[in-house]
Amino acid sequence: MIPWPIAELLPHAGDMILLDAVLAFDDDHVATRLQVRPGLLSDADGGLPAWVGVELMAQSVAAYAGCHARRAGQPVALGFLLGTRRFTCNVERFPAGSELRIDATCSLQDDNGMGVFECRLQGPGILAEARLNVYRPPQPSRFLEEPAP
């Protein structure tokens, strides 16, 4: 486990934090986990639709960036999921109570903030995989500003 709570690694708050913890990270990889429970994106019985797997992978990538920022003594910065390629999942939903592990490995990261991550989500009888394209701008606040009228 790592020394920082997950809420200190993600630019999310409250119910939008879906992960429970970061298990490990290094220069190119992060491993995260969660136990599926009722929440903002869950079905009536507390399970999660399989498409939420993309968000779990994206939050794992954000945790990767957050760990690296914390280790460097910098604040956690906002990033953007640009898209995904080849998302596959062998189930339609993740049942409530399932323990899931997400692994994300950086296969490309440039100085302009673009990155590509190979992601895998696993649980009991569950396997989902995808390639995520992400962008962490040098000045993220500029992307959130509204233009003057």
CATH code of the domain in which 18 resides: 3.10.129.10
User: Does residue 83 form part of some domain?
Assistant: yes
Angle at 124 (CA atoms; ends 115, 33), nearest 5 degrees: 45
3-state helix, strand, coil in the chain (%, to 5): 20, 40, 40
Averaged pLDDT for residues 118-145: 88
Residue 40 lies in a domain: yes
Q: Which two tokens stand for residue 114?
A: 């673009």
Distance of CA 141 to the CA centre of its chain: 20
Rounded to 5 degrees, what are φ and ψ at 29? -145, 150
What DSSP character marks residue 46?
Answer: S
In this structure, the chain runs to a length of: 149
**Residue 124 sits in which domain range?**
6-144
Q: What is the pLDDT of residues 69-128, one digit of tens each?
A: 999 999 998 899 999 989 999 999 999 999 999 999 999 988 888 999 999 999 999 999
Domain-embedded: residue 1 = no
User: What is the per-residue pLDDT across 22-76, written as a single tens digit (0 to 9) for each?
Assistant: 999 999 999 999 999 999 899 999 999 999 999 999 999 999 999 999 999 999 9
What is the residue whose two structure tokens read 């993309």? Answer: 54
Helix (H/G/I), strand (E/B), else coil: 127: strand
Q: Is 149 inside any structural domain?
A: no
Any domain includes 84: yes
- Tally the domains of the chain: 1
Residue for token pair 């994300």: 104
- pLDDT for residue 25: 95
Give the pTM: 0.92
Return the number of other C-beta atoms located less than 10 Å from residue 85's C-beta: 9
SS3 track for 5-16: CHHHCCCCCHHH
In the predicted structure, residue 139 carries a pLDDT above the cut 80: no
